Structure 1
């Protein structure tokens, strides 16, 4: 069965962040503490996955070992939208809150990055592209976070360390990012850092969420 997912990062004044906090922060923490979540994270950090073109029997290997398939599925489950955040942001748990309408719609383009994909997850591709050491520098849990303006500013050096690349590093990350981008569409390797820097420049906080759109 197909699905469409989105990962968005949007910048907001602190009063908006404060209104979001009672909803979003418990949902992020619930996904972080969900059974098996930390074990999946630790497994990926210990053993980053092979080239995505070898997954599921692709490439020249003639197949994927059972252990490798289990590691791949564990990683994909880890980096898919977390159940609690997904339900919250899609209006399942709170019909008075839907992230697309309440946070993204009409947002100044300088202060938002949204990556939408059919049958794929932006966070999954980003994390595979940058690897666990860089992914661990990003705040929150697997693409979901809520930060005040001060927290956003203080996190910027770590985010720059995660998402700023030398030319060879950039080429390697692009080779590992399997997502398709239409003409003019921003890559997951570019959009998050752009919005982060804009938020710091303008004294805003940040909300990052991943969810299923359908």
Structure 2
């Protein structure tokens, strides 16, 4: 069965981050604290995966690959908040995306049958993924948090040509790659004194 996933990173004034925090910060912490998620993260930290082009035929690493995909797909609690399941009065479209119509302040990656965070984390590897704040693509930071974390984000998301080749999602000519968009928004938010909200969700 097919699915569509969305990963968005958007910058907002601290007042908007404060309004989002009661819903999203608790959900993010719940996904991060889940015992299965922690086990999957630690397993990936111990044993990075082979090149993604071998995954469908690789029986030796099949369990590790499945664990990594489960780790990097949208977290259950954040996904439920963003899709209005936890609170029917809240939805990511109306409460996160529409208040910030300037595309310069957003990165959005939409894909069928795959997840953008999976591609990015495989591209950067576990050591650099550990530098990224939040949990597996989900982040909620004030302007001060954005400024504080920018150096680590720059270290995590600055790539050689070979490292870029490990991002396997086909963006075509219209979409910004997952290896470019997150750092662009982080730098823009830091320069403008704004916070960041990043959410990964299943859209259908």
* SS of equivalent to 2:26: helix
Which residue of 2 is the match for residue 27 of structure 1?
27
| Matching of residue 18 in structure 1 with residue 18 in structure 2 | yes
- Counterpart in the other structure of 1:102: 95
Describe the SS at the equivalent of 2:133.
coil
Who wins on radius of gyration, i.e. which is larger?
Answer: 1
Computed over aligned residues only, the root mean square deviation of the Cα atoms, in angstroms, reads 1.0
Tell me the TM-score normalised to structure 2 length. Answer: 0.97
* Match 1:70 to one of 63, 83, 96: 63
Q: Distance in 1 between matches of 2:173 and 2:17?
A: 32
Q: Does 1:202 align with 2:202?
A: no
Q: Give the match's secondary structure for 1:36.
A: helix
Confirm or deny that 1:134 pairs with 2:128: yes
TM-score, normalised with respect to structure 1: 0.92
Runs of 4+ in 1 over 6 A off after TM superposition: none
SS in 2 for 1:120: coil
Q: d(CA) in 2 for partners of 1:97 and 1:172?
A: 41
Instruction: Provide the C-alpha distance between the structure 2 equivalents of 1:107 and 1:91, rounded to a whole number of angstroms.
Output: 21
1:108 Cα deviation from its structure 2 partner? 0.9
For 2:182, the equivalent position in structure 1 comes to: 192
Q: Which runs of 5+ in 2 are unaligned?
A: none
The count of aligned residue pairs is 203
